[in-house]
Chains A and B, each alone.
Chain A
Amino acid sequence: MTESFRSAVELRHDFCNTTADLQQRYTAPLPDGATVFIPATGALYRLFKGLGTTFDTITGLVVIPANDSSDRWVLQEVEGTSPWAGQEASQSINNIPAPGSDVWAALGTLSGSFALAAGNANVFQVNATSSLLTYHGVPRSMKLLAIASMLGAAADIFSIVISKNDDVPAGSSSPQYLKGEQSASNAATSRVNITTQRIVTLEPGDTLRLMARSFAGDQVIQFHQATLSVVPA
């Protein structure tokens, strides 16, 4: 066992009373990946050496050491649960004009009302009128779940899919089964509920949005309720 390895053993799973104490922990002698547990909040932080300033705005989830380095403490869990989950929600909006038969259009093509229902607002930024969700957290594998209740004036088949970085382009008409496209049909002026999902790796700056299309017809689509959940996978 090398000395550096032995020191790693002794420096893992240390304690701090508060995050203010954690800020004062001198990171230079600590190994990359060292962890500190804060009993009062049940929070476990892991040291990410050289992470830099990219995530400094995520207050609480990323702690900046006082020793003026590029090292950062990244929150891993709070009482066993992940702090890196979020959910966007919307309701009762005429938000997709008729884009053409089979053509994909974004939820929020017409200005709507969208909000972050759960999660850290510095990690998950929701555009309140366009629905675009931008991720600002550390890179992670995520499960995406979307559930939407939709209305069309005429009987038709509707599809939804979750688009990452516009990989389902608005205006396109290609099937998107590999991205989790799901479909259901409605009766005229009746609602239909559709669920879709996807597993992706999110990097800071990645965007997510719900896309929809109607088959055969050319429908104005109204989303009565829609949620887009992002859960660490």
Chain B
Amino acid sequence: MSNARSFQPALIADLVTNPLPGQVALTTLAAEVLPDGCEVFVLSNRSLYRLDKLSADSALGGAVAGMVAAAGGGNWLPVSASQASILVDNFTDLTASLDGIGNFHPLSGTFASLTGGEWSLNTSTGVVTWLGPSNQRFLMNVSASMYNTTSVRDTIISAVLNGTVPPPSSRQMRATSPVATGTGARFELSFATIVELDQSDQLQIMLAGETTNVTVTNLLYTLTPLS
């Protein structure tokens, strides 16, 4: 059975420059004759790209997320967005100065990014910015080990999207637990959530609690695309 013409064309190309004889570089495809949504499988990285003719954002060009189509407008966007793995620097504990009444506060310290080319990390604030195309959905897993120096009271860890702190009644994107007291103790909190990100959306880990000071010794969170 073969009925390829009834399918939307899907092409095969090589990546960007120096294609092998008989192959076509993705960025030189004559996109004006291709339908919007057309897919190309790039041999060099064995990844799938989709033509978005309405995407006019030049920031998506180059090595960040997609590639600007050679003609006809639009971008070639990766079908499976890249993953990210963010963690705290292992020599500097993160600290959070909390108010004891449940308001969220950012962590202070030094952050580092392990993987992920389509993300931008502010190493001072821990704010991570999505640079890829909009409407991307990710599974976000957060793990953090912490203690406080005052008392065993409930502490909340949350992922904050675009600076909008979830209301106290929200049960999304957070975990709550009593945190062990003293430097000789530790408590690990983790949660998972699905986030849908548009380009330039920002995520930040924040803490709130019934106590005042929390030290996060290890923090790691990953974002993997749902495809």
Contacts and interface: CB of A to CB of B under 8 A. Distances in A.
The answer to whether A and B interact is: yes
Contact of B87 (A16, A180, A183, A192): A180
Contacts of B187: 184-185
Interface in A173-198: 175, 177-178, 180-185, 192-198
A181 B188 contact: no
B186 interface: yes
Given A10-B4, A198-B220, 15 more contacts: A2-B24, A4-B23, A5-B24, A11-B4, A12-B12, A145-B141, A178-B90, A181-B218, A184-B145, A185-B180, A185-B185, A185-B187, A193-B188, A199-B85, A216-B184
7 contacts: A2-B22, A8-B12, A34-B12, A143-B224, A182-B220, A199-B83, A233-B83
Interface string A195-219: 1111100000000000000001000
Contacts of A8: 11-12
Contacts of B4: 10-14
A15 interface: yes
Contacts of B43: 32-33
B2 A15 contact: yes
B98 interface: no
B63 interface: no
B9 A9 contact: yes
Interface of B: 1-5, 7-13, 22-24, 30, 33, 41, 43, 46, 83, 85, 87-88, 90, 114-115, 141, 143-145, 180, 184-188, 190, 217-218, 220, 222, 224-225
Nearest to B24: A5
Contacts of A231: 224
A141 interface: yes
Nearest to B1: A15
B5 A10 contact: yes
Contacts of A48: 46
Nearest to A32: B43
Given A14-B2, A15-B3, A233-B224, A199 B90 contact: no
A17 interface: yes
A116 B103 CA distance: 43
Contacts of A9: 9-11
A157 interface: yes
User: Which of B8, B90, B218, B225 counts the most A-chain CB atoms under 10 A from its CB?
Assistant: B218
A199 B117 CA distance: 13
B9 A183 contact: no
A35 interface: yes
A31 interface: yes
Q: What are the 3 tightest A-B residue pairs by CB atom distance, in nearest-first order?
A: A177-B90, A195-B190, A4-B22
B40 to A, nearest CB: 9
B10 A198 contact: no
Contact of B143 (A143, A192, A196, A233): A196
Contacts of B13: 5
Given A178-B87, A178-B90, A12 B10 contact: yes
A43 to B, nearest CB: 15
Given A32-B43, A185-B180, A143 B11 contact: no
A192 B5 CA distance: 58
Contacts of B141: 143, 145, 197
Contacts of A192: 188
A143 B9 contact: no
B85 to A, nearest CB: 4
A1 interface: yes
A219 B224 CA distance: 35
B11 A12 contact: yes
A192 B225 CA distance: 30
